[in-house]
Amino acid sequence: MKTVASFFRGPFYIALYTYREGIRKKVLIGFLILSLLVIFGSSFISSFLDPSAETDMDLKLIKDICVTAISIFGVLITIYVSASVVPNEMENRVIYTVLSKPVRRIQYLIGKFLGAQLIIIVNLLLMGFLFFMALYLRQGIMPTLLLWSILLTYFEFLIVSAFTFAISCFATSSLVPIIGGLFIYITGNLTEYLKDVEHRAGQTGQAFDEFIGQVASTLHAVLPNLQNFSLKMQIITGQPNDPPTDVLIPNLILYGVLYGLAGFACAYLAFWRKEV
């Protein structure tokens, strides 16, 4: 127990330091302010609609726009944070000082990763809180479904964050991992196309096409499919008594954790061999 506690003490302080340093970054604050403005501004979108129609239309608009704003700005924050925590330390040479202390590389990496996650969670909670208040003030009841939506959004970010973090451990500047992170997010949402490639490749009957189909099929099975997390949009305006969500949510959480671990392991593999 003592060994475990002493092992995690180092990462804990590194995470805390990463968080304190990260939360002060101007780009991050800029994204956060923009997202908060969009969430706040969504309350005025109903002015575009016919005021004579007494419905919950404006509520639906707020929900959809806020979830989208959280997803878009959240993923930008995630990518920026995950891409910059390690390369920045290499650029300003802080990493050499840290690793010269009795801190193992895995501890350093865990600390950095957890610090990045802390920044992501705090930003997500801030955006979620404002969204929560916007809904609460309009509805008068606690929008509990929103909490599930925010939770699912975090696990989607965890996957993007872990793989962006892995790229950042290969790279020397934060530009490449940022581009890589965006690429991961976009391709993660387009994984379904691989199924289409497989379907079309099987129609020609040629050996090479079949091989391409096999590759597409394998990639479709192995690569993370971020479309699975589209449930976060469905859940918030979900139908009453919707049984599939009960089964899907735990599976999606596990999915996020698994790919998060895979991404972190890739990061470790890269960082372990890195000459620092």
Partner 1 sequence: MPDMSKSIHRFFVLAFIVLCFVAGAFLNLRLRHLRESEAFYRWILAAATNERLFEEEDTEDQDRALFSRCVETAEQSPDLRDVSAAADAPALDGVSLLGRIASDYKEDPRIWEFARSEATAGLRGDFLNLAREQKLRFAQDIQYAEAQAGGVNVFNLFFGFRKVAANFVWIEVDRYWHQGNTYRMITLMRTCVALDPHFIEAFVIGAWHLAYNVTARMLDTPWPEREWHPTYEVCLGEKERFYYYAVDFLKEGARRNPRDYRLYFDLGFSVYKQKLQDYANAVKYLSEAVRLPHEQYVPRQLFLCQELNGQYEDALAGWKDYATRYPDSTISIDVAPRFILRNEGLILERDYEQLRGQAAQAGDPAEKARLEAQAQDVWQKARAVWEKVNDPFGEGRKARMDALELREEGRYLEAIAFLDRARWESSDLWQEFSDLIIKIKQEAKIPLTVSEKKAVLRDSVVGVCAGMPPEEREKRLRAAEELQATF
Nearest to 79 by CA among 162, 193, 151: 162
Nearer to partner 1, 173 or 230 (CB): 230
Using rule CB under 8 A, residue 151 touches partner 1:
no
Q: How far is the CB of 117 from partner 1 (least distance, A)?
A: 17
* Single residue of 199, 204, 211, 214 touching partner 1 by CB under 8 A: 199
Q: How far is the CB of 51 from partner 1 (least distance, A)?
A: 10
Q: How far is the CB of 87 from partner 1 (least distance, A)?
A: 21
Using rule CB under 8 A, residue 244 touches partner 1:
yes
Q: Could you identify the residue written with the tokens 């994984």?
A: 191
Using rule CB under 8 A, residue 259 touches partner 1:
yes
Nearer to partner 1, 7 or 17 (CB): 7
Using rule CB under 8 A, residue 189 touches partner 1:
yes
Helix (H), strand (E), coil (C) string for 81-119: HHHHHHHHHHHCCHHHHHHHCCCCHHHHHHHHHHHHHHH
Q: Which two tokens stand for residue 107?
A: 């501890």
Using rule CB under 8 A, residue 37 touches partner 1:
no
String of b and e for 11-46 (b: at least 16 CB within 10 Å)? bbebbeebbeebbebeebeebbeebbebbeebbeeb
Q: How far is the CB of 248 from partner 1 (least distance, A)?
A: 6
Which long-range contacts does 216-219 make (Cβ < 8 Å, 24+ apart)? 219/191, 219/194
97: Cα within 13 Å, side-chain hemisphere? 6
Using rule CB under 8 A, residue 173 touches partner 1:
no
∠193-249-158 over CA atoms, to 5°?
A: 65
Q: How far is the CB of 216 from partner 1 (least distance, A)?
A: 11
Binding region for partner 1 (CB under 8 A): 45, 48-50, 53, 55-57, 60-61, 64-65, 67-68, 71, 186, 189-190, 192-193, 195-196, 198-200, 220-222, 224-230, 233-234, 237-244, 247-248, 251-252, 254-255, 258-259, 261-262, 265-266, 268-269, 272
